[in-house]
Amino acid sequence: MERFPYGLEEDPRPRLGLIALQADETVEDDFRRMLPRASARLHVSRVPSGAELTPETIAAMEADLPGGAALLPPAARYAAVAYGCTSGTTLIGAGRVRALVQEHVRTRAVTNPLSAALAAARALGLCRVGIVSPYVASVAAPVRAAFETAGIAVPDMAGFGEGTEARVARIAPASIRAAAGALAARADLDGLFLSCTNLRTLDIIAGLEAELGLPVLSSNQVLGWHMARLAGIPAEIPGRLCGAGLPAASME
């Protein structure tokens, strides 16, 4: 076989990395909708995740996160890498997630849905946020505690009490919208957060905001927004969050 000469050429687009859960059927599709191919190259890896969601199975993902990070293409340098699990970040800790990812990936920034949600709430000036979670109380409660530790009150929550991750991806957006509406009707809120990267939320955010007169955030929406801002690229973010800049504390 003739050995033919060739040239090497780098793709000039920024690289983004997403570490999703094995059971997540939603976040990758949402990211490809929010982050156009013309803006960046998106590489996706996965980490094992239990079929049943409990604090124990979520916290156990800490051991698998380094392996998932290491499976991202190693030759690339990333503008930002995201770990796609809200509850997992809450239980593992955002700082620990960052450290585990940066041990194996060359990146300027690491984000996650919890840090992104807090940054988005600050960017919009939210002080009283209601949370809709698909999970049982033991999984949802730490997310509430994390918001309150960050100085954002959570007067009330609504949840579906689901423990099986495959069913979370199949919760009807109409059911999420109904739960959000009921929560907003009974609590004094200035915003809502739809927690979980596996919930299908992108298509209902704008309608909910118009109906309720409140900013509506969701795990995938804020994660895409935060990642795009950290990487300095444009993104197609639904709702009032579109166009919002990062608060100074979130520029790290």
pLDDT digits (tens, 9 = 90+) for 191-241: 999 999 999 999 999 999 999 999 999 999 999 999 999 999 999 999 999
Using an 8 Å Cβ cutoff, are 224 and 113 in contact?
no
- pLDDT for residue 90: 95
Tens-digit pLDDT profile for residues 74-132: 999 999 999 999 999 999 999 999 999 999 999 999 999 999 999 999 999 999 999 99
Model pTM?
0.95
- pLDDT for residue 249: 62
Dihedral sign (CA 240, 242, 244, 250): positive
- Does the pLDDT of residue 155 top 60, yes or no? yes
Q: Which domains does the chain have, with CATH numbers?
A: 15-113+221-244 (3.40.50.12500), 115-218 (3.40.50.1860)
Task: Return d(Cα 187, Cα 207) in angstroms, integer.
Answer: 19
- Does the pLDDT of residue 189 top 90, yes or no? yes
Measured in whole angstroms, the distance separating CA 44 from the mean position of its chain's CA atoms is 14
Q: Within 13 Å, how many C-alpha atoms sit on residue 5's CB side? A: 1
Cα–Cα distances in angstroms (integers) from residue 196 to residues 1, 55, 116, 248, in the given order: 53, 14, 12, 25
Tens-digit pLDDT profile for residues 5-63: 999 999 999 999 999 999 999 999 999 999 999 999 999 999 998 777 788 887 788 99
